[in-house]
Chain A
Amino acid sequence: MSKTSTISPKSIKDISKSSDQLAHVDLKDLPPLPPPYDDMEKLPGFKALSEEAREKFDASLDDTLVVSHPKPATPEEEERLVKGFFSGLEKLFTKENNWTFLEPLTMSMEHCAKCQTCATDCPVFTMSGENEVYRPTYRAEVMRRLYFKHVKKGTKVFNSFQNGGIDGNWTTISRLMELAYRCTLCRRCAQSCPIGVDNGLITHELRKLFSMEMGISPKELHEKGTVQQLKVGSSTGMNPVAIKDNVDFIDEDMTDRTGIKVETKWDVEGADILLIHNAGEFLAWPENPGAFALMLEAAGVSWTLSSDLVAYDGVNYGLFYDDAQLARVAARHLEVAKKLKVKKIVMGECGHEHKALGVIADRVFNNSIPRESAMTLMEEIVFSGKLSLDPSKNDFPVTLHDPCNITRAMGIVEPQRRVLRHIAPQFREMEPHGTRNYCCGGGSGFAIMSGHNFADWRMHISGRMKMKQILEAFGDTDLYSDEVKKYICAPCSNCKGQIRDLLDFYGAKTTSGIYYGGLVELIVNAMTDLSEPFLDWDMM
């Protein structure tokens, strides 16, 4: 199917009406990026969804697919799915099944004034050219109408009068299923709501309903994510043997590159710190765990990694879609920490690991080992005087991307900045930043999703605001030249994945010399013990 101009729903009830596509974004209607990325004709396009995919899956929401649920083969199957949805909807509002979020969800359902104050704070909505289907209140309003019609006690006439009606047919439900995966759960909209309504939470709960009642979720999060992690040990597919081999190789490489003996500690009982990385680092950015090992050894910290199943991977995709999976993964992390009798767990450079283990798991298990952020640990080490650092080794433009889960959801804002101000002379902020940052566009698991043409959606729409911010942060440099290397410090694995894809997609590395990495790499790069720079631009 090829659409020539933007389509967006004209009413809430349009979601229930059968049509080829409820929404379509025409690239020419997107807000332009700063030069030299302002000519849409010169940028990669948006691949159309294949006819086969449209034939096989429920794909009538927009231009792409995430959940990719097959179309019901029979009316009976369709009816079963609709029943399953409403059964799940009821369970979302019971304390037995959803004590985890019952209060915030109910409050958000019943008090929205529909003032749209949240809308302009949503990077997906604004950078889609304000397509109605991506407005934070659109999916929330559909959900709200279904709640008042099917769950909330009261007279149907009054509820319909107060809250509007909607047809809960399969067209509505299948579109809602996909629409639950067009929001990165960054919760910037919730920050601006004057009443306290949280549309990000409503999206989160919708995802839970589909997963926990109907067993429907993106395979990247479930089968290849939490299920694989619980079974094999990591969502990367690495088992304990593979991870140890991998880290041996990283240690060797670090030793060769730096001339400093690097040896990662495994399963040290009674260590002060159990460090848990996002295991994606070991495969995609091995210099990050390598730099951690180097820094911790140089600072004389008592630390260990765990080779126990699950405990060497801080990933917990359950945070994005399923409370049961969230609890299962977090339980393994906390069990291993207790087994090793460590004083604390330090969460590596991974935003969602921070939130899942740092605050969410806090009320799932009693008497847990305390958790601390790697940002805090790095600040402590940098200012302890245990490392000899030369900031001039980082004398290139550096900006900081704030992972939503670390800043907005946890209030860890300054440690990473104090480090950067200390070791990076040309550090500059993105605007806005800190707790008002914009999501990278890969939040809530999007960074690992590229099925069908979803990567194009991530690049053109959900990641567009971040790309704009990055370019503006380096606006004082020549963006037409790659001569001056510029560094985006993104202390989060998922954010790095998204930023990597953005820079590749827009050709920003070759056009403007924009690179990315974590925070610990910059610290190690500033260490005077290293005769050669740790950052290798050619390899980045």
Chain B
Amino acid sequence: MLTAWHVLTYLGAALFLIGGAVRIIRVARMPLHLRWELYPVPHEKGKAHYGGSVLEETDWWLTKREVDHWGELVVMLEEILLLKGVWEHNRSLWYASFPLHFGLYLLIGNIALLIVGGIFELSGVQLGVGSMGQVFSFLLLVVSGVGIAGGVMGLFGALFMLYKRLFVRQLRMYANAGTYLNAIFLGAIFLSALVVFGTDANAPQRLATIYAGLISAGNLPHLTLAMQWHLGICLAFAAYLPLTHMSHLFTKYFMYHDIRWEDTPNTPGGKLEDRIAAQVNQKVSWAAPHIQGGGTKTWVDVATSTGAEDDK
């Protein structure tokens, strides 16, 4: 039987996914921009370690472009998992930001583990019975540990971040109401996770049953008050996140791959030519005297005039 929790969970997850998808689609549909890469670009094979590029080579356009995807992956993982940039350039903030982010990753990881747990339940696997049952038991043990670790790390990070946003002058000056709400929201998620996993030894098992009910739209067991709070806050946050700057969760890929590392040359007969041709034929409406686009001139018209004739 569907309950209000079923509806709220599906709604929260749907808003999160739709919000993320809207962000991603919007970015993916943006026009090809001018090259604006910043070095080091980690896919520059053999050169990334010192920031070099293929542009160092004589007749570089005749050499085969080799892209080191592994190099990109390593940099992305260091950045996402360890917040390497913050470590190197803003160490004092890293002590708050890293536990906050890593705590969140652990709780997200826990959701994945609990989905697996739910599937075990639905498959009829019984805790501790048979080899699969042993795996199931171990899984729930991990869920408990990860939940507590995520809660502790995240709560520390969120409170430390809130403190910094409130009392470090340069952070306070740039903060606004939303900044504080975000920190409080995250803090509430971690605190409620800590209560759920830290005070109830049966929580992982009960949560696996809840996930089984949510996955199958089947019956849900009784949710403890702590679980109700935790689930409620998580769902509200999931729906809220895509509306904020925290949506970099979805768009960071584009900010690195499509902008900072985007160095595809426009070679004759290459894949960029058609897109560029379409873009330079768009009409411009910039109004300065040396352009006077008026919505009638194209970029080609503008680039092939001197601008001086427009002043006459």
Give residues in A with beta carbon < 8 Å to B.
10-12, 84, 87-88, 91, 95-97, 99-104, 106-107, 110-121, 132, 135, 137, 141, 158, 161-164, 187, 190-198, 201, 211-215, 222, 227, 230-231, 324-325, 327-328, 331, 344, 358-360, 362-368, 370, 372-373, 375-377, 380, 407-415, 434-436
Contact = CB atoms under 8 A, between A and B. Distances in A.
Residue with the highest number of chain A CB atoms closer than 10 Å, among B36, B173, B181, B273: B36
B38 A114 contact: no
Given A114-B174, A435-B39, A363 B34 contact: yes
B89 interface: yes
A413 to B, nearest CB: 5
A411 B55 contact: yes
Given A215-B290, A364-B303, A97 B284 contact: yes
A84 B287 contact: yes
A375 B302 CA distance: 32
A211 B288 contact: yes
B237 interface: no
Contact of B171 (A116, A161, A363, A368): A116
A230 B310 CA distance: 13
Interface string B73-88: 0000001000111101
Contacts of B39: 407-411, 413, 435
A214 B259 CA distance: 28
B59 interface: yes
Given A194-B86, A327-B303, A434-B51, A141 B174 contact: yes
A96 B245 contact: no
Which of A99, A163, A377, A409 gathers the greatest number of chain B CB atoms within 10 Å?
A99
Interface in B207-261: 243-245, 247-248, 251-252, 254-256, 258-260
25 contacts: A88-B287, A97-B293, A99-B33, A103-B27, A103-B30, A103-B254, A161-B176, A162-B176, A163-B178, A164-B176, A190-B38, A196-B259, A198-B36, A215-B290, A222-B290, A362-B34, A364-B276, A366-B276, A370-B61, A372-B59, A408-B38, A409-B38, A412-B55, A414-B52, A414-B56
Interface string B60-97: 11000000000000000001000111101110010001
B188 interface: no
Contact of B306 (A97, A230, A409): A230
Contacts of B173: 10-12, 132
B290 A163 contact: no
Interface in B151-201: 170-171, 173-179, 181
Contacts of A213: 286-288
A366 B280 CA distance: 10
Given A102-B31, A112-B245, A366-B276, A196 B266 contact: no
Interface stretch (B11-19, B40-48, B112-120, B135-143): B40-48
A187 to B, nearest CB: 6
A103 B258 contact: yes
Given A100-B33, A328-B305, A212 B170 contact: no
B6 interface: no
B279 interface: yes
B168 to A, nearest CB: 9
A100 B52 contact: no
A214 B308 CA distance: 16
B123 interface: no
Contact of B56 (A192, A327, A408, A415): A415
Contacts of B97: 115
Contact of B259 (A97, A107, A414): A107
A227 B307 CA distance: 8
A370 B36 contact: no
List the 5 closest A-B pairs by CB distance, nearest first: A411-B53, A196-B255, A435-B51, A162-B178, A194-B85
A222 B308 CA distance: 12
B50 A434 contact: yes
B52 A103 contact: no
B48 to A, nearest CB: 9
Contacts of A328: 302-307
B149 interface: no
A227 B51 contact: no
Contacts of B256: 196
A354 to B, nearest CB: 9
Contacts of B41: 411
B86 to A, nearest CB: 5
Given A97-B286, A372-B58, A363 B266 contact: yes
A135 B169 CA distance: 13
A360 B303 CA distance: 14
A114 B248 CA distance: 13
B44 A411 contact: yes
B289 interface: yes
A111 B245 contact: yes
Contacts of B247: 110-111
Nearest to B244: A162
Nearest to A331: B303
B35 A360 contact: yes
